[in-house]
Amino acid sequence: MIKKLNNGDLDLNVLEIKDVIDIKLLQTFQDNFATGMNIASVTVDKDGTPVTNPSSYTSFCIDFTHSTKVGDDRCAASHKKAGEEAARTRRPYIFTCHAGLIDFAAPILVGDHLIGTILGGQILTSDPEEAKYRKTANEIGVNEEGYVEALKKVYMTKEENVTAAAEVLYIVANALSKTGYEQLRLRSMSQNLSDNFSQISATMEELSASSINVTNNQHNLSEEIINVKKISVEINTILDSIKSIADETKMLGLNAAIEAARAGEAGRGFGVVATEIRTLSKDSKETAIKIAELTNKIQQSVDKTIETSHATLETTEQQSAAIEEVTSNLMEVTTLADQLNAMANHK
């Protein structure tokens, strides 16, 4: 099971052979090697469980030694000890098995981590002593004569050939594991890269949409500010009309007061009304002047606001354009990351 650490690296402690080596490819290589070299072999994981089928196993081993529980248990113990020694030295380990044949264990490593072992051998490098094998046959409970006859069919070669065979298996298996591990790392990193760029791209698209909204809102705000200025100008126009009307009202009140004075006692009440009209026109004019002063200040403030709004709008438009450009570039990079991820996962 492939597992990642907090820093994103792969956890080598749980890495298995099947994670880094194509088992079918390993089986084909193992079968061809065993046939060509007359050397039996099988690949096991770090727990000793076979991950390939046995290649070119001898009748001596498969039909006799492994045919009883005692013999099978002795083989398992022998292989375990050899595997532990190979794991300790990180090199192929050649040994004589419990039944008297020459075997070897070649560790499969990723860095300093053992992920499996290739077990091979079932051969001889010198003429066997029959008495020793007859004794073993009795101990494990197999037919003595059949055991000796099977022993005679065991392939015999030189010791240096065994060493060379073990070294070849070690080199090829570890080259496969190293290549497979680097491809696994590449797939993992490319997947992370693709995921990260996809997330960044999605974020930038959201930001781009938001920036467009900001720009649109700024346009609307600028238009509303201009509308406010237009309204203040219209208010000033109306105020000018009010001041004119106040001036005319004041003149009418003055004329009315003169006529009331001429009328004497009969025009006294009308004179009071004329005075109130003049006062009202005066107050109306003063109020209109004050409102005009305020609207002038509003216009000045609006002018500054419009100036700031235009500057802000220009900035937001630049930001929006920059975000769109970055988003476009990110889309290109995301596409490249996806292509890299597809290439890394291609088998």
Do 194-344 and 12-157 fall under one CATH topology?
A: no
Just give the CATH number of 194-344: 1.10.287.950
pLDDT at 302: 66
Residue 343 has what pLDDT?
57
CB neighbours of 121 closer than 8 A, spacing ≥ 6?
39, 40, 41, 94, 97, 101, 102, 103, 104, 162
For residue 100, the model assigns a pLDDT of 94
Distances (CA, A) of 227 to 46, 181, 231: 80, 68, 6
CATH of 12-157, one of 3.30.43, 3.30.450, 2.60.120, 1.10.720: 3.30.450
Q: Is 345 helix (H, G, I), strand (E, B) or coil?
A: coil
CB-CB contact of 16 with 3 (8 Å): no
Per-residue exposure over 285-312, b if at least 16 CB sit within 10 Å of its own CB, e if not: beebeebbeebeebbeebeebbeebeeb
Domain boundaries, given as residue ranges, for the chain = 12-157, 194-344
pLDDT in tens, the chain (347 residues): 555 544 456 676 778 888 888 999 999 999 999 998 899 999 998 888 899 999 999 999 999 999 999 999 998 888 888 888 998 898 999 999 999 999 999 999 988 888 899 999 999 999 999 999 999 999 999 999 999 999 999 999 999 999 999 999 999 989 888 888 887 777 776 666 666 666 766 776 676 666 666 667 666 766 766 766 676 677 667 667 666 766 666 666 667 667 667 666 655 555 665 576 667 666 666 776 777 677 777 767 667 776 776 776 677 767 667 767 766 766 666 676 666 666 556 54
Q: What is the pTM of this model?
A: 0.60
Distance CA 96, CA 107 (A): 17
